[in-house]
Structure 1
Amino acid sequence: MGAGTRDQAARDAVTVEIGFAVATGLLLAGALFLAAASPALFGVLDRAWEGAWLRGAGLVAGAGFAVRVVGVLRRFGATRQVAGDGHAVSGRP
């Protein structure tokens, strides 16, 4: 196995980790939006408050997405180690 294969494996690992971060971030954002917007969606709120409530739910969902993606990618970056030959390898603690 040459160095080119190892470099490709490292790039593939980063790509998979980004995909995982975005996918789980989207799931979390959807769950947060549904939870936060449920009073407006089920008619519990006064009509005057529905728009503001839905915007607030969108902000909560967006913040949850950002926190999840940044957290996953930071954790991935922290677990990457440098092997003895100077190539980056990934590993979980």
Structure 2
Amino acid sequence: MTTHGGRRGQAERDAITVETGYALCSAAFAAAVGYGAVAGPALLFELPGGLERALPVVGAVLAAVLFLARVVSVLVRFQHSSQPSQPGRTKPDS
């Protein structure tokens, strides 16, 4: 991932920026869908009092967990994909 002297080239910095943006956008989408799926019924329908208050809280917790899980999974996958499978060897698909 690094070139000589530990400095990253412009292409590597651009790839990191794009991957970070993708991770954040896809995580925000996953969190919004998760929140909507759980809290949506409480916002659209008349439900018993406790359930109507609990569903948005549960949805917010689920959204936060989904957001963090998606960001971590995308960035970890990116980190592992840019390194050769064995030291001193190139990737099989290169």
TM-score, L = length of structure 1 = 0.76
The equivalent of 1:21 in structure 2 is 23
Alignment gaps of 5+ in structure 1 = 83-91
User: Which range is displaced more, 72-81 or 45-54?
Assistant: 45-54
Alignment gaps of 5+ in structure 2 = 85-92
Runs of 4+ in 1 over 3 A off after TM superposition: none
The equivalent of 1:87 in structure 2 is none
Q: Distance in 1 between matches of 2:69 and 2:50?
A: 30
TM-score, L = length of structure 2 = 0.75
Q: Which amino acid in structure 2 is aligned with residue 22 of structure 1?
A: L
Shift of 1:48: 3.0
Q: 1:74 aligns with which of 60, 73, 76?
A: 76
Deviations 1:35-85 (A, max 9, x none): 011221122421233222101100001101111110000000000126xxx
Q: State the structure with bigger RCO (CA 8 A, min sep 6), 1 or 2.
A: 1
The equivalent of 1:50 in structure 2 is 52
Q: Which amino acid in structure 2 is aligned with residue 66 of structure 1?
A: L
Deviations 1:3-49 (A, max 9, x none): 7xx71110110010000000000001001110011221122421233
Count of residues in correspondence between the two structures: 81
Q: Give the RMSD, CA atoms, in angstroms.
A: 2.3
